[in-house]
Amino acid sequence: MKRALTSLALLAGAGLSWGLIERRWFALRHQTIPALAPLGSVGVLRVLHLSDLHLQPGDRRMRQFIRQSVRQGPDLVVVTGDILGHPDAIDDAVDALADVIAGRQGVVVLGSNDRFAPTIKNPLRYFRGPSRTPRSMRLDTDRLVVGLKEAGWHVLCNERTTLRTAIGDVDVVGLDDPHIGAASPAQVDWSPPSRPVPLRLGVVHAPYVGVLDHFADAGFDLTFAGHTHGGQVRLPGFGALVDNCDLPLRMARGLSRYSGNMWLHVSAGLGTSRYAPVRFACRPEASVVDLVPRQHAPATL
């Protein structure tokens, strides 16, 4: 019995040590999605999806990885919230994302950690369901939003906009974070575009089913989300144990079909809370997603 307990303790210690290493082992994922409407000579739209940076002041390693990701030449960058990981990281976040947006289009939605400072939580409580609305120090979210807008980002809080891209106008709706009850689909005009567009794009931080249903029912082609950290701790052969929302666990990371025709891309994110700085079998990631006309290529799942 003593030997078995010792072995378990050694395995737990090894797993924790690896988890501390893996959280900084950044990966750049590549995927192709046939999401564009077949409108004549429409070409490829390359999107860089960043999420859940949980940026700490002075985090040069993550910023360097983000710069390397931008070298893939995205036409559009989508950031799905939880940019901040510390109350003093606002200037770092604005500077880091200003480098990303230079010369291209970019959309940002906010997450709960962009409004509330991180707090210590019992990780076991996530097995009981999504975490509750944070009750912690309010961050200077307005300063973050102003800085991002001045850098050229479209920061969408229950809003719709049209982005002009190389493949034509893209219809975009960005909803505020449903994890803290901030999503308000009623504020959005969900009517079809007045003329055909190659892509209808949804953006939200937390992929709650109710919000995704709004995008799917309105005929959106693709929705980007984050929040789940891909489970953050995954079991090989099984996958995520929790995802901190009501999305099926099999969809907690990567690309999947949602409700028939809509694609859903959930990023495992780049960071973690500073109070839970561990990942296991779930590397931090950014994603380069090539959107191509539907008749030209299959999706890579």
Domain containing residue 140: CATH number = 3.60.21.10
Q: How confident is the model at residue 297 (pLDDT cuts 50, 70, 90)?
A: low
The answer as to whether 110 is a domain residue is: yes
The answer as to whether 300 is a domain residue is: no
The answer as to whether 204 is a domain residue is: yes
Average pLDDT over the chain reads: 90
How many domains, the chain? 1
Dump pLDDT digits (tens) for 98-110.
989 988 999 999 9
- Of 59, 72, 70, the C-alpha closest to 24 is 59
- Of 78, 97, 86, the C-alpha closest to 58 is 86
The answer as to whether 298 is a domain residue is: no
Dump pLDDT digits (tens) for 148-171.
999 999 999 999 999 999 899 999
pTM comes to 0.93
The answer as to whether 94 is a domain residue is: yes
Contact 181, 133 (CB under 8 A): yes
pLDDT score at 6: 39
Residue 15 above 60 pLDDT? no
The answer as to whether 217 is a domain residue is: yes
The answer as to whether 299 is a domain residue is: no
pLDDT score at 153: 98
pLDDT higher for 260 or 202?
Answer: 202
Contacts of 2 (CB under 8 A, 6+ apart): none
Q: How far apart are CA 141 and CA 63, in angstroms?
A: 21
pLDDT score at 179: 97
The answer as to whether 38 is a domain residue is: yes
Range of the domain at 58: 2-293
